[in-house]
């Protein structure tokens, strides 16, 4: 039976979308990756640095094995993968059907520039007369209406901003390759109805829109408009809201009944923005605030015209859908308190600041290395960050915490210090510093103590500026904890804007009955962070709300797992590994290199002297010939190239062309059609080389190209033409740990069709969930656990080993051999391909000095268990004190355990529910009620739970006197000592991981400073170890809630499945090997390999390599004292020859 | 006498500095064309013999440029390069090569402007130092 290949649509090609797409593509499924914007990479393309490392590791998301199916360069440049089709400027309109058989409708705005023909030469940009704000730089700079979507974009193809373009046609005239083609637009058929009771508004709008070529009718009232609609059809209606008789909103409702597809824009005065926003919920597309600029009107209408008239709909049949549209930033200018954003110079958002200081941004002063004020151009000396702008703020409709802004602001302050020197003063004004990750607290301390960032716990109400003394900057007034008013001036104030739901995804959800939560984010099912209310539709990344990079990446991998399960359940197959034919062994053939240059780019003919070039290359004996051709990018050109290869029969090819012809997919095509292996084809981007030679320096340009070609020829002629290595790979998994993370990952892998052995050291499965009753959301944990355990025990692909530990393990390429030790039954050896370390963690015990059980002093776990055993009766408690950060977040265990504050809130709410008279006190340092948990914090405060903040210098002390506890603390707000008599004291002691170092070490994984599992990259590979076959999830990875544990377990599962899915793994074309004959077994290469790809085979006494683990960095070759470690594909012979050539 | 135009070999890593060089190109930033880029996977693979070879064959300066510390695609290749370059600088004078002719820099993927600036600066520095002695010896 020839089953279809599984295919998933991933809507949104930012960080999350790329993660989901790559996970599925690596597993062997097809992915259609779409994005509404004109470049992939999303928000991360705009950011250069990520917390807490202040670095970027975006490229670490790329595939590890079979690397050459994907592009191997910075992800900001773009992504190419054999199994991923990318559609940009494309919107998802609707989705119908069942999992395994979904029909999605997409709408793609066609580009007026043919990306296959555009060489990125940039001539069009120079002639374009239109300047607009550059959205990529957050409007801090100007760009033309024809522009490169992102500065590093790999495709290098220009794009046109339809809304700004005046269709003057200059770019079409100058384009040397004919890539720009203005389609004849018939704007007259687009009928617009303008409804306003003021004649002057109607007439001027009619005039403006007519000038743009649209047909315009007008109506002076709602009724006239409806009458007109009865007699003719319209495509768009622009209506005033406040009109005598029928108002705009009523007209909207009636008009939509007549014509459901009518695009409606509301026009309103500033004071009625709320009703306009309300109208958008009833189907209006957008609104304009009166008085408006004609340009704003025109660009809005043109944009809608393009989206609704020009855009092409396409229908795709797929199995699953992953939504990963991310979130949007809150716009301070629309809020009730704008902090003067958009009015006062120097008030900017966090993202604007990141653009300002980016390597591709406009804020750096190259001469002095100082930060320049974006408006005044003067050096900035004093900066402030204001936290919680549009978060934790009911007035802006956001009672939630945006979770990530605290860390982002710390990062920005550190960056400012690092880039512009310690003299730059930085202050962060915050409410609670939510450092909710395992390394985040340390990062804050570094900022405060080493970098000199000032943290002030205060809320600045507003900013002002003295117009007489603008040089004094922005004036801020705030009240400190002690109640003293301070006044301070700043040059630059950064607003840490909160997050909002992605509007486009929210609309999509509303129209396709996908559930959203109270704040408009996509709602997921209980205990899941990815399953939406519709089966087969998953939510990835921060779409379901408020995640940082590592959480987004984890959640997106989990979404990919969901899609994988759907495809497996629907009986879809994976794409066969294209290893049918073994390439001809060319080892004994002399290299014959065909060099082909394409001259389509206009620069070519102007700048190159072909005769000189030919003469230069003729001296190299391996050169078969140098061919110059035209328009390689066209089908004709491509056929010519194939014919040329077939005729000349070279065994190596060096190809110089523009980027569009030299990218991975094209080269792969060439391999299929000519049989010339892709690792024997070298490519050069001619355009970027030629761009280095401005003007008409023919001699220099020719020399430059000649040299670049020669370097490539060196790499080509000394390339060992051995086919790429493959390693047989075991297809079973071992999961260590029977907690919820272990259970979930085992079930997930088994659901994808692979065998799993799950080992648990204890007698029962369930881990920490066994002692828990309900979550803070009120979900029944025991019911959930029961269901999971039942499924686990009955799954035919799962073998459970209780009371079992790992005795030892050995690894060889493609396989582990683990010896298990059962408490009674003795030893057993398992062979498996991947390992998941889900050994969990425990609540830290009470410090002996604090605890005394006869006085009702508990940890949170003990308290909850005492409630369940009914040894404590909540109704009888008069006064309960909860002490947060007990023994944690200090010098001994300097990390935040993330979940204790939420657990405290849960218990406080529980106590208040049982007996509203019980006094509950929470003694805290920073309340870490991140994300939507903020609501429980607010609820607790409303119910009368009393919060006292303390600091490290004055930790709470408990004293015991005849049956009572007396808790003494120093409240920061009152600035005085407080004593509370308590029936019961509950300590939040934090989480201790339970991952033995010896166990991790055996599997090639490492532990971090707090004894949690150390991720390969805390941001971009959050569940992987450096060993590509070992993963971790749940509490052994980091402190997490149940949902987060499930999410990380699903992420670990898909990361494992993508390895398990292949019988054999293929190495990259640049891969390390060993010359055993000269190797002295010093093992320096083994020690230096960051991926653990090198092993000592003690039986055969040689170094063996897992070619799939090797990433081709070549460090081993550089350390080898005898030259026995060789980097195949970029070896020393190639390098030395390339140096010769570069110097020629 | 013709003005001295040095020959500089730059080993740049595939992930960061090469991207920055590309970016400098697409952003039309000019930088000296006598700097010859050789793309390597990682600065950690730059064997000292490549550097010495470049000098002995007539390079007036050698630049090795990779990702910022912590940014390395291969986790820590750039740290390995840093250690190696430090040692290499110690032994270069024995070959008659001033150690300042060898430079190690970190240029991130979005630092196109910085790339062009550093290239210009290195070129100026080598011009000031004059032709490499080994190059002169070779000429004789």
Strand-pair partners of A393? A398
Terminal Cα-to-Cα distance of chain A (whole angstroms): 60
Count up the domains in chain A and report the number.
Answer: 8
Whether A122 and A90 share a structural domain: no
Q: How far apart are CA A252 and CA A258, in angstroms?
A: 10
Q: Is residue A944 part of a domain?
A: yes
Instruction: Note the pLDDT tens digit of each residue in A184-220.
Output: 667 778 889 999 988 888 898 888 888 888 889 999 8
CATH number at residue A506: 3.50.50.60
Q: Is residue A1088 part of a domain?
A: yes
- A730–chain B nearest CA distance, Å: 26
Q: Is residue A588 part of a domain?
A: no
Whether A491 and A413 share a structural domain: yes
Q: Which of A368, A448, A462 is nearest to A413 (CA)?
A: A448
- CB-based burial of residue A1143 (10 Å sphere; 0-12 exposed, 13-18 middle, 19+ buried)? middle
Residue A851: predicted pLDDT: 59
* Count of C-beta atoms within a 10 Å radius of residue A265: 22
Residue A968: predicted pLDDT: 93
pLDDT reading at A383 higher than 50: yes
**What is the phi/psi pair of residue A1103, to 5°?**
-90, 125
Q: How far apart are CA A98 and CA A1120, in angstroms?
A: 57
Strand-pair partners of A456? A429
Whether A707 and A848 share a structural domain: no
- Among A448-462, A813-827, B14-28, the minimum mean pLDDT is found in B14-28
Whether A220 and A283 share a structural domain: yes
Query: Which residue, A184, A218, A250, sits at the end of a domain?
Result: A184
pLDDT reading at A578 higher than 70: no
CA count, 13 A, side-chain hemisphere, B103: 22
**Cβ of residue B109 closer than 8 Å to a chain A Cβ:** yes
pLDDT reading at A1021 higher than 70: yes
**Cβ of residue B27 closer than 8 Å to a chain A Cβ:** yes
Residues A859 and A846 sit within 8 Å (Cβ to Cβ) = yes
Residues A927 and A937 sit within 8 Å (Cβ to Cβ) = yes
pLDDT reading at A271 higher than 80: no
Whether A354 and A473 share a structural domain: yes
**3-state DSSP assignment of residue A120:** coil
**Closest residue to B71, CB basis, from A56, A1115, A1127:** A56
| Close Cβ partners of A694 (under 8 Å, ≥ 6 residues apart) | B28, B30
Give the pLDDT mean for A683-690: 80
Residue A1 pLDDT class (50, 70, 90 cuts): very low
Q: In sequence order, what DSSP letters do the residues of A528-578 get, joined into one string?
A: -SSB-SSTTEEE-GGGGS---HHHHHHHHHHHHHHHHHHHHHTTPBPPPPS
Query: Which residue, A1064, A1092, A1123, sits at the end of a domain?
Result: A1064
Strand-pair partners of A859? A987
- Among A288-292, A359-363, A590-594, B66-70, the minimum mean pLDDT is found in A359-363
**3-state DSSP assignment of residue A847:** coil
**Cβ of residue B131 closer than 8 Å to a chain A Cβ:** no
CATH number at residue A660: 3.40.50
**Cβ of residue B80 closer than 8 Å to a chain A Cβ:** yes
Whether A477 and A553 share a structural domain: no
Give the pLDDT mean for A474-482: 89
**Closest residue to B45, CB basis, from A358, A1026, A1118:** A1118
pLDDT reading at A625 higher than 90: no
CB contact under 8 A, B45 and A691: no
State which CATH number among 3.40.50, 3.30.470, 1.20.120, 1.10.287 fits the domain covering B8-139: 3.40.50
CB contact under 8 A, B15 and A148: no
Q: Is residue A776 part of a domain?
A: no
Q: Is residue A30 part of a domain?
A: yes
pLDDT reading at B9 higher than 90: yes
pLDDT reading at A507 higher than 80: yes
Whether A355 and A481 share a structural domain: yes
| Close Cβ partners of B10 (under 8 Å, ≥ 6 residues apart) | B35, B36, B37, B38, B62, B63, B64, B65, B119
Give the pLDDT mean for A228-248: 87
CB contact under 8 A, A688 and B50: no
CB contact under 8 A, A1115 and B42: yes
Whether A954 and A1089 share a structural domain: no
Residue A137: predicted pLDDT: 86
pLDDT reading at A100 higher than 60: yes
A386 or A273, which is more confident: A386
Instruction: Note the pLDDT tens digit of each residue in A31-60.
Output: 999 999 888 888 988 888 888 777 888 999
Whether A600 and A653 share a structural domain: yes
Residues A391 and A398 sit within 8 Å (Cβ to Cβ) = yes
Q: Is residue A730 part of a domain?
A: no
- A448–chain B nearest CA distance, Å: 21
pLDDT reading at B57 higher than 60: yes
**Cβ of residue B114 closer than 8 Å to a chain A Cβ:** yes
Q: Is residue A819 part of a domain?
A: yes
Whether A80 and A127 share a structural domain: no
Q: Residue A167: give the domain boundaries.
A: 110-184
CA count, 13 A, side-chain hemisphere, A989: 22
Q: How far apart are CA A844 and CA A846, in angstroms?
A: 7
What percentage of chain A exceeds 70 in pLDDT?
95
**Closest residue to B117, CB basis, from A53, A366, A700:** A366
pLDDT reading at A445 higher than 70: yes
Whether A871 and A950 share a structural domain: yes
Q: Is residue A906 part of a domain?
A: yes
Residue A366 pLDDT class (50, 70, 90 cuts): low
**3-state DSSP assignment of residue A525:** coil
Task: Give domain limits for chain B.
Answer: 8-139
Query: Which residue, A1044, A1064, A1084, sits at the end of a domain?
Result: A1064
Residues of A with Cβ-Cβ distance to B69 under 8 angstroms = 55
Residue A740 pLDDT class (50, 70, 90 cuts): very high
What would the two tokens of residue A705 be?
A: 């190209």
Whether A215 and A179 share a structural domain: no
Q: How far apart are CA A992 and CA A698, in angstroms?
A: 67
Bond prior to A52 in cis (omega within 30° of 0): yes
Residue B43: predicted pLDDT: 96
**Closest residue to B22, CB basis, from A59, A688, A700:** A688
- A945–chain B nearest CA distance, Å: 44
Q: What was the ipTM of the complex prediction?
A: 0.96
For chain A, the average pLDDT equals 88
Beta strands A826-832; A815-822: pairing state: antiparallel
Instruction: Note the pLDDT tens digit of each residue in A957-1005.
Output: 988 877 778 999 999 888 889 999 998 999 999 999 999 999 999 999 9
- A1047–chain B nearest CA distance, Å: 26
**Cβ of residue B30 closer than 8 Å to a chain A Cβ:** yes
CB contact under 8 A, A48 and B108: yes
Q: Where are the beta strands (DSSP E) in A1086-1124?
A: 1094-1097, 1102-1105
| Close Cβ partners of A1050 (under 8 Å, ≥ 6 residues apart) | A530, A557, A558, A561, A562, A744, A745, A748
A286 or A274, which is more confident: A286
Residues of A with Cβ-Cβ distance to B59 under 8 angstroms = 1143
| Close Cβ partners of A421 (under 8 Å, ≥ 6 residues apart) | A369
């Amino acid at each position: 039976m020839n089953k279809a290949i599984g295919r998933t649509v991933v809507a949104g090609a930012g960080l999350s979308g790329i993660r989901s797409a790559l996970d599925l593509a690596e597993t062997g499924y097809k992915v259609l990756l779409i994005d509404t914007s004109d470049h992939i990479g999303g928000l991360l393309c705009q950011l250069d640095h990520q917390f807490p490392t202040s670095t970027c590791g975006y490229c670490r998301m790329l595939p590890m094995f079979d690397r050459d199916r994907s592009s191997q360069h910075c992800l900001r440049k773009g992504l190419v993968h054999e199994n991923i089709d990318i559609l940009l400027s494309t919107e998802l309109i609707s989705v119908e059907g069942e999992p395994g058989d979904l029909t999605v409708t997409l709408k793609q705005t066609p580009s007026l520039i043919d990306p296959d023909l555009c060489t990125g030469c940039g001539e069009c940009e120079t002639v374009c007369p239109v300047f607009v704000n550059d959205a990529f730089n957050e409007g801090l700079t100007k760009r033309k209406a024809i522009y490169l979507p992102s500065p590093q974009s790999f495709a290098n193809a220009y794009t046109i901003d339809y809304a700004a373009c005046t269709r003057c046609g200059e770019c079409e005239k100058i384009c040397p390759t004919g890539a720009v083609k203005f389609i004849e637009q018939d704007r007259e058929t687009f009928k617009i109805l303008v409804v306003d009771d003021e004649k002057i508004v109607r007439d001027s709008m009619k005039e403006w829109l007519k000038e743009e070529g649209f047909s315009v009718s007008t109506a002076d009232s709602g009724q006239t408009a409806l009458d007109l609609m009865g007699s003719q059809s319209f495509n768009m209606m622009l209506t005033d809201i406040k009109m005598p008789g029928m108002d705009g909103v009523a007209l909207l409702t009636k008009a939509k009944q007549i014509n459901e597809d009518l695009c409606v824009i509301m026009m309103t005065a500033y004071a009625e923005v709320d009703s306009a926003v309300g109208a958008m919920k009833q189907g209006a597309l957008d609104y304009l605030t009166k008085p408006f600029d004609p340009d704003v009107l025109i660009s809005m209408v043109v944009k809608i015209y393009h989206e609704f008239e020009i855009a092409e709909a396409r229908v795709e049949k797929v199995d699953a859908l992953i939504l990963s549209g991310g979130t949007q930033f809150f716009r301070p200018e629309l809020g009730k308190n704008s902090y003067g954003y958009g009015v006062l110079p120097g008030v900017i958002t966090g993202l604007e600041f990141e653009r300002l200081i980016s390597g591709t941004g406009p804020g750096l002063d190259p001469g002095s290395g100082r930060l320049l004020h974006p408006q005044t151009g003067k050096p900035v000396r004093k900066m402030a960050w204001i936290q919680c702008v549009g978060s934790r703020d009911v007035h802006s409709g956001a009672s939630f915490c945006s979770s990530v802004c605290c860390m982002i602001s710390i990062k920005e302050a550190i960056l400012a210090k690092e880039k512009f020197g310690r003299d730059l003063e930085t202050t962060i004004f915050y409410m609670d510093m939510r450092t909710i990750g395992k390394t985040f607290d340390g990062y804050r301390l570094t900022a405060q103590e080493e970098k000199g960032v000032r943290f002030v716990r205060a809320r600045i109400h507003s900013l002002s500026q003295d117009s007489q003394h603008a040089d004094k900057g922005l004036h801020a007034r705030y009240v400190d904890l002690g109640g003293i008013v301070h006044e301070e001036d700043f040059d630059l104030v950064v607003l840490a804007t909160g997050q909002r739901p992605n509007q486009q995804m929210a609309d999509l959800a509303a129209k396709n009955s996908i559930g959203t939560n109270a704040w408009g984010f996509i709602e997921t099912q209980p205990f899941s962070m990815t399953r939406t209310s519709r089966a087969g539709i998953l939510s990835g990344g921060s779409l379901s709300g408020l995640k940082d990079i590592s959480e987004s990446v984890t959640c997106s991998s989990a979404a990919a797992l969901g899609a994988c399960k759907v495809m497996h359940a629907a009986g879809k197959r994976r794409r066969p590994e294209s290893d049918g034919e073994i390439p001809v062994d060319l080892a004994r053939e002399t290299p014959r290199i065909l060099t082909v240059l394409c001259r389509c780019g206009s620069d070519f003919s102007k700048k190159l002297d072909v005769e000189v070039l030919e003469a230069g290359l003729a001296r190299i004996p391996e050169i078969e010939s140098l061919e110059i051709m035209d328009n390689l990018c066209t089908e004709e050109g491509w056929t010519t190239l194939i014919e040329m290869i077939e005729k000349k029969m070279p065994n190596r090819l060096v190809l110089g062309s523009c980027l569009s012809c030299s990218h991975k997919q094209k080269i792969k095509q060439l391999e299929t059609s000519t049989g010339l292996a892709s690792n024997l084809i070298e490519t050069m981007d001619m355009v970027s080389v030629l761009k280095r030679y401005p003007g008409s320096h023919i001699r220099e340009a020719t020399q430059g190209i000649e040299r670049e070609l020669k370097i490539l020829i060196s790499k080509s002629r000394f390339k060992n033409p051995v086919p790429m290595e493959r390693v047989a790979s075991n297809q079973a998994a071992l999961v260590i740990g029977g907690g919820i993370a272990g259970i979930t990952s085992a079930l997930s892998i088994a659901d994808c069709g692979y065998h799993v052995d799950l080992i648990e050291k204890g007698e029962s499965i369930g881990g920490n969930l066994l002692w828990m009753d309900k979550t803070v959301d009120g979900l029944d944990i025991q019911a959930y656990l029961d269901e999971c355990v039942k499924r686990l025990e009955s799954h035919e692909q799962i073998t459970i080993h209780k009371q079992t530990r790992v005795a030892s393990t050995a690894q060889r390429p493609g396989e582990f051999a683990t010896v298990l030790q059962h408490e009674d039954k003795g030893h057993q050896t398992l062979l498996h391909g991947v390992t998941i370390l889900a050994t969990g963690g425990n609540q830290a015990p009470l410090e002996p000095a604090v605890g005394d059980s006869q006085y009702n002093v508990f940890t949170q776990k003990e308290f909850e268990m005492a409630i369940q055993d009914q040894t404590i009766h909540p109704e009888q408690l008069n006064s309960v004190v909860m002490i947060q950060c007990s023994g944690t977040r200090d010098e001994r265990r300097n990390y935040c355990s993330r979940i204790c504050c939420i657990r405290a809130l849960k218990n406080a709410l529980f106590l208040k529910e049982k007996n509203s008279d019980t006094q509950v006190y929470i003694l805290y340092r920073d309340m870490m009620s991140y994300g939507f948990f903020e609501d429980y914090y607010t609820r607790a405060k409303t119910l009368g739970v009393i919060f006292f903040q303390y600091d490290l210098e004055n930790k709470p002390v408990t004293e015991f006197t005849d049956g009572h506890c007396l808790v003494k603390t120093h409240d920061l707000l009152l600035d005085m000592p407080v004593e509370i008599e308590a029936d019961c004291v509950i300590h939040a002691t934090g989480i201790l991981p339970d991952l033995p170092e010896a166990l991790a070490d055996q599997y090639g994984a490492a532990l971090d400073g707090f004894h949690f599992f150390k991720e390969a990259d805390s941001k971009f590979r959050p569940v992987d170890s450096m060993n590509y076959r070992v993963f971790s999830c749940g509490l052994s990875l980091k402190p997490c809630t149940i949902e987060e544990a499930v999410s990380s377990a699903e992420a670990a599962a898909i990361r494992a499945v993508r390895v398990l899915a292949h019988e054999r793994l293929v190495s990259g074309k640049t891969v390390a090997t060993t010359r055993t004959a000269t190797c002295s077994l010093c093992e320096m290469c083994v020690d230096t390999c960051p991926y653990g790809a090198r092993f000592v085979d003690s039986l055969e006494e040689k170094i063996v390599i897992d070619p799939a683990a090797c990433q081709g960095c070549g460090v081993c070759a550089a350390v080898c004292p005898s030259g026995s470690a060789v980097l195949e594909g970029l070896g020393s012979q190639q390098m030395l020859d390339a140096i010769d050539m570069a110097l020629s | 006498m013709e003005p001295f135009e040095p020959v500089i070999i730059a080993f740049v890593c595939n992930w960061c500095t090469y991207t920055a060089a590309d970016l400098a190109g697409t952003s039309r930033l000019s930088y000296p064309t006598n700097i010859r880029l050789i793309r390597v996977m990682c600065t950690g693979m730059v064997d000292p013999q490549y550097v010495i070879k470049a000098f002995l064959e007539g390079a007036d300066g050698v630049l090795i440029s990779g990702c910022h510390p912590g940014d390395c695609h291969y986790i820590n290749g750039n740290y390995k390069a840093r250690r190696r370059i430090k040692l290499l600088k110690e032994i270069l004078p024995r070959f008659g090569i001033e150690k300042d002719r060898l430079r190690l820099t970190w240029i991130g993927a979005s630092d196109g402007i910085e790339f062009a600036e550093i290239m210009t600066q290195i070129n100026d520095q080598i011009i000031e130092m004059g032709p490499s002695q080994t190059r002169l010896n070779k000429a004789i």
